[in-house]
Structure 1
Amino acid sequence: MQISFLIVTKNRPEDLALTLNKLKLLIDLSIHEVLVFIDGCSKTEAIISDFNWVNWTNSRESLSASPARATLYKKAKGHIFIGLDDDAHPLSSDFILTVETTFNNNAHLGIIAFQEVRGLFTSDQSALQHSKDLESYFTSDFVGCGFAIKKEVYQATNGFPIWIDIYGGEEPAVALEVLDLGYTILYQPSIKVNHRVDVIQRKLQGRNYFRFEHQLKNTLRYYLVYYPKPVRKVVKTLWHNFKKYALKDWTYFKAFIKVFFSTLFKLPSILKYRQPVKAETINNKLNLKPLNYSA
């Protein structure tokens, strides 16, 4: 098996079906596989029989994105793992060849981050026209909606962390472990995926208190697990979020307090996963160009 496509899905059967139909046009099932993890959502079960070429894992209980990925990736057999969101699909017919060639040209490359083209388009050609012509560069992160990682590199890490839940943290955790192993992460914008999100609707939604709470919680855990000296980063993060959000909005304030005390209460269990990376890795990460998250 050369390539494994891996998708975690929850309550979006129509989006998932579209993604799977797009993938079917690109893959050769004799050398490629598609694995899907249904994360505790019964309505997705209705489409399983429509895609009998997919390797399904159906969890009755919702695990959340990162633990679900951790479970799914253990089942993959390909030499290269390609991670996609259930509402994201490749935009070019040479997608697979370009991923393989990029890895073959760089023995120290661990992860390829794709260009994320956000939006709802009438066709893939239209999405490509909205993408950007950018130069590739080495970076410190990747986006879960579209990336590739060598199997041997992923297995050398601890995998997607089970101590992180939705909204931020799982990709930076894997990325930091990959960098600590001495591998590089390449942002390759010529490899494009359409992340089919309604950009206008997201902007109109305004404040997202749920996202704020989970991102803050996961960021604190990230520092506590990986940083050799995490106290300064934790204090700085708390102070920044208190000034920018909690001090100005009562709902943000309640979410901030909830995260603060839950982190203190769960500190012993969080520290069970502590595995500080080398100080050199942190310095190298800071010197890398940040990821261009979207077109």
Structure 2
Amino acid sequence: MNTNTQTPTATPKLSIVFLNYNRLSETRYTLAILQRLLETRQDIEVIAVDNASTDGTPEFLKSQENWIRAVFMNTNTGIAGYNEGFKLARGEYLLVLDDDSHPLDNETLDRLIQCLDTRKDVGVVACRIEDLEGKPARTWHLPANDEPGSSMAFVGCGFAIRRQLFESIGWYPSEFFLYQNEIEVAIQVMRAGYRIHYDPNCRVVHRQAVVNRTNWRRVFYPTRNTIWLIRRYYPFPIAAYLIASRLFMGLFRALQSWEMRSYYRAVKEAFAMPIQLQRLPAPVYKQLTTFRRQNSVFHQLLGRL
């Protein structure tokens, strides 16, 4: 891993961190938006992490070192690359983006800072994720009513978190590599006694680039990582039911995309990993109701009737 030597003089309040892997055009787009938003601000820094791209992204990031800080990984480490950016951040709060997402405006940045400044019980602010036309993303990670309030989780391409809190829970779980890492963080945030607050006025645009969104990844990582989460936090017999449900749903997706080999490997790794059960407080299990229903065959079928 290499980092640039650019050291901004002002101490930032907020550090924006995003990760890139072979999506140069998206990184250019994101940085162009951020540069425009931040041209008159001294309270925000930008940290870009590159996961050993071969498409010219490292060279481009080096050309931007007059106003950003960059981290260059030697290999593609998945979400672990984010962690290296988080460690370098100097802001009290972190705004986490993907290379194909960006905050809509400065109002979003101001609201994130204000919320974390004034609401000490909030550990994470989950942003409204929308497309380029302003339509909200349909995801079970956020409240369905699109109203401000408590949320079970957040979407990884747009959320703010207290840096010290994130550090205390160990950043992203690097073994996940991709997908479901947000759920692990959400559980740890709630376990630490903090709330996840959804603010639909904190708006992040997710352009949803198709590069690197391969079928095998969508079969392998959600199947393996979700079973890891169930094994870690749910006791028998609910764990047995949720794992069986997750195996069925993973198999269905694998058959749809002709990815049986990836499914087999996911199942093998899901049970090979030594995992010790960690029981959660009852209020946390209650907050995880949406996660449980999302991974229940019964509730998924009921929702489609």
| Structure of higher RCO (CA pairs closer than 8 Å, 6+ residues apart) | 1
1:152 corresponds to: 164
Which sections of structure 2, spanning at least 5 residues, go unmatched? 1-11, 138-144, 295-305
**CA apart distance, 1:137:** 2.1
The 8 Å contact of residues 215 and 259 in structure 2, kept in 1 or not, is answered as: no
**Mapping for residues 29-178 of structure 1, pairs under 5 Å:** 30-42=42-54, 43-52=56-65, 53-64=67-78, 66-119=79-132, 127-128=133-134, 130=135, 134-166=146-178, 168-178=179-189
Query: Matched residues in 2 for 1:16 and 1:250: separation?
Result: 29
**Mapping for residues 137-286 of structure 1, pairs under 5 Å:** 137-166=149-178, 168-197=179-208, 208-229=215-236, 230-242=239-251, 244-245=252-253, 251-264=258-271, 266-268=272-274, 271=275, 274=276, 276-280=278-282, 281-286=284-289
TM-score by length of 2: 0.78
**CA apart distance, 1:250:** 8.5
Partner letter of residue 73 of structure 1? F
**CA apart distance, 1:249:** 5.2
1:13 corresponds to: 24
Q: Which secondary structure does the structure 2 equivalent of 1:17 belong to?
A: helix
The 8 Å contact of residues 13 and 44 in structure 2, kept in 1 or not, is answered as: yes
Partner letter of residue 37 of structure 1? V
Distance change in 2, residues 1:22/1:163 (3 Å)? same
Distance change in 2, residues 1:141/1:24 (3 Å)? same
Higher alpha-carbon deviation: 86-95 or 176-185:
86-95
Identical aligned residues as a percent? 21
TM-score by length of 1: 0.81
Query: Matched residues in 2 for 1:109 and 1:250: separation?
Result: 40
Task: Count matched residues.
Answer: 269
Query: Matched residues in 2 for 1:96 and 1:57: separation?
Result: 23
After superposition, give the CA deviation of every residue in 1:257-292 in whole Å (9 maximum; x if it has no partner): 22222333x323xx2xx472514112232179x99x
The 8 Å contact of residues 127 and 159 in structure 2, kept in 1 or not, is answered as: yes
RMSD of equivalent CA atoms? 2.9
The 8 Å contact of residues 83 and 144 in structure 1, kept in 2 or not, is answered as: yes
The 8 Å contact of residues 109 and 183 in structure 1, kept in 2 or not, is answered as: yes
**CA apart distance, 1:4:** 0.4
Query: Matched residues in 2 for 1:284 and 1:8: separation?
Result: 29
Which sections of structure 1, spanning at least 5 residues, go unmatched? 120-126
The 8 Å contact of residues 52 and 72 in structure 2, kept in 1 or not, is answered as: yes
Query: Matched residues in 1 for 2:167 and 2:216: separation?
Result: 35
Query: Matched residues in 2 for 1:185 and 1:71: separation?
Result: 24
